[in-house]
Structure 1
């Protein structure tokens, strides 16, 4: 792509990835809003929540409301924030509106009696859709644009801005309908945003391991040979005895962790080992199916 087009769409590879994720992500979100949130009168975050609120009050199709509300916000974002972000937000708003209108043509095949179950399942599905959007540089437009403007102009954290605006929408729902519906909406949002974060950062399939042992050379050798993972030595010092030692640091796949534990146990039964989830791991060897 030439520079002018790339300013709005990015590279060809980025365009293909983002457009694909936008279409799939928006259809997933629309599915959750239409078949789960609407059946119990729950709201969602952002402009979609306002669209659902107007749907319940005045029976205005959610897809139309979402599109109409997004138009001025996209125009505002075009002049105030990143052009690429705004372009994909505009595309996403159009796709989401079309998906909402599409699903609205069919009877709901997922009717459930339990409101809590509807909130959890609907929130999870919506979170998966939002996670796909944000992970690939897109969004649902709407209040995401407003939050980005607040971040750029007033240095307000995007998460805090979205939380504040969504709480206003939930409060409107509580006033218009009932406290129960508002609280179920909060549950759906909590599940959705937590799943969104997990998708953005990864699902903890990779583990970072720190090992303190006098047998660090043997442990290093076996991890490299048997697990086929790189190892880094960090210089450490005991806080009590002030003894200097080597700290072994490595990142492995979830299925490889058992091998590392076995290696450490055989090399040094008194070794100290700490394991935590590792997110957004990049580099050689971390894009293969073996992880």
Structure 2
């Protein structure tokens, strides 16, 4: 059993390291192929490192490259993550940020187009997908991600307002630096980036599930063996066609767990009927897997 757990742990480490490497490639493509040629600022610390690069080049005798700025800005947050979140989480975050910085520095800009709209959209898609895949594999890309986890653990609240304020600052900086049309293009890029993250990172999306079955106990056992979710049982339902007695099971899962739900139903009751809809708001306790 210990050998199996050791193999699984190594597999997880390899998957996380591979994801960190892929993120480094994708953020460097976004930066060097789209954002830099299009004069587009990204969101978060990546955008802040771009701003520092621009301002240092204009007002200092030297410029601080986005790659160096990105890593240096994250150092205080590495320390925060080490103390407040977990050592493994911090090590993979350092690896991810280092690879991103290294790839941005190593991959020279390729000017495919200077069109700011194209650069904003495609830069946002590429970076957002890479970020979403990182989050899906439980590794952080640094910056405000770390602050968000710490605040949510201590207060139960998100840092949505801080994120919005930070990105407004980046957009405003883009306006003063390159002109206000580029501020709007940067805003478009940030929105596209967020949508791409949501597309790739499904763990935070909540789904409401109703299951109609003739074998409630078997289905419940199967679902809870696959997914750590509570289930509400509604007895006394009646099928309108044959008027036979049915049981309705109600639960809420993340979109990330949808495939496991399908597998659980296939194993327990192939004739079960399930309806899955997106839940816009969840109030009360909803179990979230903690990163370490």
Q: TM-score by structure 2 length?
A: 0.65
How many equivalent pairs are there? 227
Matched, 1:71 2:69: no
Q: Which runs of 4+ in 1 moved over 4 A?
A: 208-211, 233-238, 243-249, 284-287
What is residue 230 of structure 1 aligned with on the other side?
Answer: none
Structure 1 gaps, min length 5: 218-232, 250-276
Alignment CA distance shift 1:165-1:156 (3 Å): farther
The answer (yes or no) to whether the contact 2:81–2:90 under 8 Å persists in 1 is yes
Question: Does structure 2 conserve the Cα–Cα contact (< 8 Å) formed by 1:235 and 1:244?
Answer: no
Q: Paired residue for 2:29? A: 31
C-alpha contact 2:37 2:111 (8 A) present in aligned 1:
no
Instruction: Quote the offset at 1:178 in angstroms.
Output: 2.5
Assess if the C-alpha contact under 8 Å between 2:43 and 2:167 holds in 1.
yes
Q: In 2, are the aligned partners of 1:41 and 1:56 still within 8 Å (CA)?
A: no
| Match of residue 260 from structure 2 | 283
- SS of 1:141's equivalent in the other structure is coil
**Match for residue 87 of structure 1?**
91
Query: In 2, are the aligned partners of 1:120 and 1:188 still within 8 Å (CA)?
Result: yes
Deviates more, 1:122-131 or 1:179-188: 179-188
User: Counterparts of 2:258 and 2:137 in 1: how far apart (Å)?
Assistant: 16
* Contact 2:34/2:111, CA 8 A, preserved across alignment: no
How far residue 279 of structure 1 moved from its aligned partner, in angstroms, is 4.8
Matched residue of 2:64: which SS?
Answer: coil
1:128–1:196 Cα contact (<8 Å) kept: yes
CA distance in 2, matches of 1:158, 1:27: 28
SS in 2 for 1:283: helix
Q: Are 2:40 and 2:119, in contact at CA under 8 Å, matched by a contact in 1?
A: no
- Whole-angstrom distance in 2 between the partners of 1:43 and 1:126: 12
SS at match of 1:56: helix
Residue in 2 aligned with 1:270?
Answer: none
Q: Which of these two proteins has the greater Rg computed from alpha carbons?
A: 1
Describe the SS at the equivalent of 1:108: coil
Q: Who is 1:201 aligned against?
A: 202
Q: Report deviation, 1:125.
A: 0.8
1:51 is matched with 49
Out of 102, 115, 131, which is 2:106 matched to? 102
Note the aligned Cα RMSD (angstroms): 3.7
Corresponding position of 1:150: 151
Quote how far apart the aligned CAs of 1:280 are. 2.7
Q: Deviations over 1:71-90 (max 9, x none)?
A: 22212221232322222111
1:175 aligned partner: 176
**2:65 is matched with which residue?**
61
User: What is the CA deviation profile of residues 53-102 of structure 1, one whole-angstrom value per residue up to 9, with x for unaligned ones?
Assistant: 12222242111111111122212221232322222111111111101101
Unaligned runs of 5+ in 2: 58-62, 215-232, 265-292
